[in-house]
Amino acid sequence: MILKGYKKLSFFASIDNHNSEKNSIVTNMVQKRGLYSYGTKLLLEQICKKRQCAGLFILQRNTKKTKTKSERKQKTTDRRNVGAILAIDTIRGIVLKEMPKGETSKQVIVLAKGLGKIWMTAKGARKQKSKLLAGTQMFCYCDFQAYESRGFYTISQADVIESFFDLRLDMDRLASAIYAADFAERIALRGMEQDSMLLLLLKTFQMLSKKGYSPLLASRIFELKLIQIAGIMPNMTEKCSVCGKRASAYFSGAAGGMVCMEHRSGSKKIADGTKNAMRFVFSQPLSNAFQFSVSSEVLKELDEILEQYIQIHMNLKLGTRDFEKKYKQLL
């Protein structure tokens, strides 16, 4: 890859504010001589425009330690003539997970617009005075300036759009937000656009930040919308999932939805309120899907149904889901 054998020489920021979708290393070579001349600036501007990126790192080829005079001369020539450009892109996304890296750095997993799940390194982000400290915390929705190398990103700047800091102030909301981030992190794919999941997570965090809105209900709606996005929505019609006959009272996770009296073995009786709540969430756009309330009985039933459904159809049982309900016992 282009980065191997290069070191960072300087940073060139584009004057124009470009929105970036692409992330790649520009392999163009530029003359180092006259790097800051007007002509070179124009050239770099043009490259920024073409790559739709906000800035470039100018890289210089690393030369080995030299001994002889002729080698030293060669080194000088290399430094003058050879450079490479590394594109800086603006990446918008939510921090799903943060992990310490080394003594002062951090690695974060971000669900990024247009890119899906990506790994990003924030150098020195655990230092108290780091400008990356705020933007690389869990739940943070940010515009990151970053450059990519071999599928990994290094953050050079993080502009916070929404920190969702309030989620940390209330245990119930925090537990639900941790679960939502964990769930998204587990099922999000690398290198594949998952913007609908990103929007759902954003909406869920916004609802969790609202005082008076039940965090457990927000979690269940998040799950319902997520299984809809994942394309494994249960059959909630009045027809049996097995035979197609009339079905109105039983739900079977294994059969994938409503079942008739005949095929009800292994199923659960489902209340009308629960059925209607599920149908409502599936039928509404994201902007409306959270706009209702349910009784505690319905919420409990939704919880049981979804726990089993996600386990069967996504092969997923997350500790953070239990934590959402059980942390109180630990206090």
Residues near Zn ion, by CB under 5 A: 240, 242-243, 245, 260, 262-263
Of residues 108 and 260, the one with the C-beta less far from Zn ion: 260
Of residues 163 and 248, the one with the C-beta less far from Zn ion: 248
Of residues 42 and 254, the one with the C-beta less far from Zn ion: 254
- Pairwise CA distance, residues 81 & 59, whole Å: 12
The CB-nearest residue to Zn ion is 240
The least distance separating Zn ion from the CB of residue 240, rounded to whole angstroms, comes to: 3
The least distance separating Zn ion from the CB of residue 237, rounded to whole angstroms, comes to: 12
Length, in residues, of the chain: 331
Of residues 126 and 263, the one with the C-beta less far from Zn ion: 263
Pairing mode, strands 116-122 and 152-162: parallel
Of residues 163 and 235, the one with the C-beta less far from Zn ion: 235
Of residues 238 and 297, the one with the C-beta less far from Zn ion: 238
- The residue with tokens 């960072």 is 8
Question: What single-letter amino acid sits at 282?
Answer: F
Count Cα atoms within 13 angstroms, Cβ side, for 88. Answer: 24
The least distance separating Zn ion from the CB of residue 241, rounded to whole angstroms, comes to: 7
The least distance separating Zn ion from the CB of residue 265, rounded to whole angstroms, comes to: 11
The least distance separating Zn ion from the CB of residue 280, rounded to whole angstroms, comes to: 24
The least distance separating Zn ion from the CB of residue 218, rounded to whole angstroms, comes to: 34
The least distance separating Zn ion from the CB of residue 310, rounded to whole angstroms, comes to: 23
The least distance separating Zn ion from the CB of residue 302, rounded to whole angstroms, comes to: 23
Of residues 221 and 255, the one with the C-beta less far from Zn ion: 255
Of residues 85 and 260, the one with the C-beta less far from Zn ion: 260
